[in-house]
């Protein structure tokens, strides 16, 4: 049974949301099916999608269910193809047939069994008619944690190991070590409804035409866009200074993105390329923006340090150093806690329906309190902002 995590109130289960890694399931029952997925402007768009048959809500999900395991766990995935054409299943980076892809005929069930490979982020998808079937919704994340150690990897490089050893134990990283519970997945994808409509009509979609004419109209993180992906607690890292988070970025869509995070630089830890090769960084740079190639997995460590360019004595808690800002309400929203965005800097990705900024590939994170464990003050309802510019 899959641990059901991060389920919003009211039994809403359609969009898969990720939070903590609980005890890993050993058997998954998935179906390949179809659904209408409502976009950020409420346009319903036909998709192919995975469905988690163990989930009592029995709804397709976009992206597909989170597969999670510890290195060496025996994993069994039963996949039933409920659509009228063959579909595939591939996890690049897993040795053997699963890494190169298997085919499931219409109406058939295939059982895939493998030992969880080395620790890291993995993208699974339907590899047939590539990239069509992947982009039309048959994609999802897999996370494997290493059997031992304090990093996300089975064979960390010396610099990655040193970084994780330093979290919570050195003067420049006061606070806590990384806790695997402090992990977020940012699963990127794109939607061009013209091709989804062809799939809905049962038309064959030509690979070459798809690659040449694809124009994304929607950009999603964990199946959501804009205000939705920015204000979903299962997507946005939240914590006090000194509570580092791991962010696993996966790109199942059609665009090269340039994700940019505000408030803290992040450490680039590892990338897995489209073929599945994992490269853990020998050189672990601090970046605020980094290229996310198509079909790439990329891991960031968000250190949750005090934003380094706030002027003033570092020994004074922020709640005492910036009391005015923390007490302000602007546009009906409190400035406490401190929130920062992450967004694509290939800024076309910030649009929806060709406009509607910022309703695309955007989310954020929040610093909720100081290093000493004291949270920032509660919201003050007194409004200080003026009316927005009309447009």
Partner 1 sequence: MTLRNIPLRPVPREELPVFHKHVCPPTFSGDAIDPVTPTRRIARNLAVNIDLELRDGTKVPLWILEDPDDPVGGQVFPSKTVRTVEGDIIHARVGAKLNTHTIHWHGIEPTPMNDGVGKHSFEISGNFVYQFATNQAGTFLYHCHKNTALHFEMGLYGAFIVDPKKPDTAEAADVPDPPYPDGGPGYVRTVNPPYNVIKYDVEALWVPDDIDTRWHQLGHNAFMQKCNPDSPTAAENFTQDGILNDFWPDVFLWSGEPRSADDDTPFEKAAVNARVGQTILIRFIDATYTVNEIRFGLPARVISEDGYPFGVPPRGQYSQPFDLTAGEPIRITAAMRGDVLIKATKPGRFPCTIDFFHWITGKQLYRATTFINIT
Query: Which of 231, 236, 268, 274 lies closest to 256, judged by CA?
Result: 274
Element at 195 (helix H, strand E): helix 193-200
Which of 72, 107, 373, 385 is in the footprint of partner 1 by CB under 8 A?
Answer: 385
Which of 163, 185, 298, 371 is in the footprint of partner 1 by CB under 8 A?
Answer: 163
Q: Between residue 102 and residue 141, which ones bind partner 1 under the rule CB under 8 A?
A: none
Per-position x/- string for 89-108, each x denoting binding to partner 1 as judged by CB under 8 A, each - no binding: --------------------
CB closer to partner 1 out of 73 and 165: 165
CB closer to partner 1 out of 100 and 170: 170
What is the nearest approach in angstroms of partner 1 to the Cβ of residue 311? Answer: 4
Element at 184 (helix H, strand E): strand 183-191
Per-position x/- string for 280-309, each x denoting binding to partner 1 as judged by CB under 8 A, each - no binding: ---xxxxxxxxx--x--------x-x-xxx
What is the nearest approach in angstroms of partner 1 to the Cβ of residue 129? Answer: 17
| Contact (Cβ atoms closer than 8 angstroms) between residue 152 and residue 119 | yes
Q: Is 389 in the site for partner 1 (CB under 8 A)?
A: yes
Distance CA 299, CA 141 (A): 13
Q: What is the number of other CB atoms lying within 10 angstroms of the CB of residue 19? A: 17
- Give a three-class secondary structure readout of 245-283: EEEEEEECCCCCECEEECCCCEEEEEEECCCCCEEECCC
Stretch that binds partner 1, among 94-102, 148-156, 164-172, 181-189 (CB under 8 A): 164-172
Query: Which of 291, 225, 208, 223 lies closest to 256, judged by CA?
Result: 291
Q: Between residue 214 and residue 273, which ones bind partner 1 under the rule CB under 8 A?
A: 214-217, 223-224, 226-228, 230-232, 254-258, 260, 262-265, 267
Q: What is the DSSP string of 17-30?
A: ------SPPSEEEE
Per-position x/- string for 46-85, each x denoting binding to partner 1 as judged by CB under 8 A, each - no binding: xx-x---------xxxx-----------------------
Q: Between residue 168 and residue 207, which ones bind partner 1 under the rule CB under 8 A?
A: 170-172
Q: What is the DSSP string of 143-179?
A: EEE-SSSSSS-SS--HHHHHHHHHTTTBTTB-S----
What is the nearest approach in angstroms of partner 1 to the Cβ of residue 331? Answer: 4
Q: For residue 183, what are the CA distances in angstroms to 236, 237, 391?
A: 10, 8, 38
CB closer to partner 1 out of 179 and 329: 329
Q: Between residue 4 and residue 43, which ones bind partner 1 under the rule CB under 8 A?
A: 8, 10, 12, 14-15, 33-38, 40-43
| Contact (Cβ atoms closer than 8 angstroms) between residue 88 and residue 102 | yes
Q: Is 376 in the site for partner 1 (CB under 8 A)?
A: no
Q: Between residue 321 and residue 360, which ones bind partner 1 under the rule CB under 8 A?
A: 321-325, 328, 330-333, 335, 338-341, 343, 345-348, 350-359
């Amino acid at each position: 049974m899959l641990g059901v995590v991060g389920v919003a109130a009211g039994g809403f289960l359609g969009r898969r949301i990720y939070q903590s890694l609980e005890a890993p399931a050993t058997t998954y029952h998935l179906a390949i099916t179809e659904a209408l997925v409502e976009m950020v402007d409420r346009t319903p768009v036909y998709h192919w999608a995975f469905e988690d048959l163990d989930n009592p809500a029995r709804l397709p999900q976009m992206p597909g269910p989170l597969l999670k395991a510890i290195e060496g766990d025996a994993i069994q995935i039963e996949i039933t193809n409920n659509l009228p054409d063959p579909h595939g299943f591939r996890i690049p980076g897993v040795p053997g047939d699963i890494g190169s892809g298997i085919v499931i005929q219409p109406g058939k069930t295939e059982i895939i069994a493998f030992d969880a490979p080395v620790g890291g982020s993995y993208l699974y998808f339907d590899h047939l008619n590539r990239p069509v079937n992947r982009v039309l919704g048959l994609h999802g994340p897999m996370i494997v944690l290493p059997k031992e150690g304090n990093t996300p990897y089975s064979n960390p490089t010396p610099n990655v190991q040193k970084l994780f050893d330093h979290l919570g134990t050195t003067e420049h990283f006061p606070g806590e070590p990384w806790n695997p519970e402090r992990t977020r997945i940012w699963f990127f994808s794109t939607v061009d409804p013209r091709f989804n409509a062809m799939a809905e009509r049962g038309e064959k979609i030509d690979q070459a035409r798809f690659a040449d004419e694809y124009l994304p109209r929607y950009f999603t993180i964990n199946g959501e866009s804009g205000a939705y992906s920015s204000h979903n607690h299962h997507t946005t890292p939240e914590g006090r200074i000194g509570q580092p988070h791991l962010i696993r970025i996966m790109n199942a869509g059609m665009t090269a993105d340039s994700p940019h995070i505000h408030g803290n630089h992040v450490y680039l830890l590892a990338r897995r390329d489209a073929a599945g090769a994992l490269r853990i960084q020998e050189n672990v740079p601090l970046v605020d923006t980094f290229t996310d190639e198509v079909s790439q997995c990329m891991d960031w460590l968000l250190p949750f340090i005090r934003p380094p360019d706030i002027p003033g004595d570092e020994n004074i808690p922020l709640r005492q150093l910036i009391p005015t800002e923390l007490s302000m309400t602007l546009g009906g929203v409190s400035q406490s806690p401190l929130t920062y965005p992450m967004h694509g800097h290939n800024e076309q990705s910030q649009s929806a329906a060709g406009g509607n900024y910022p309703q695309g590939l955007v989310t954020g994170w929040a610093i909720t309190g100081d290093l000493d464990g004291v949270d920032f003050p509660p919201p003050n309802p007194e409004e200080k902002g003026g009316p927005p510019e009309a447009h």
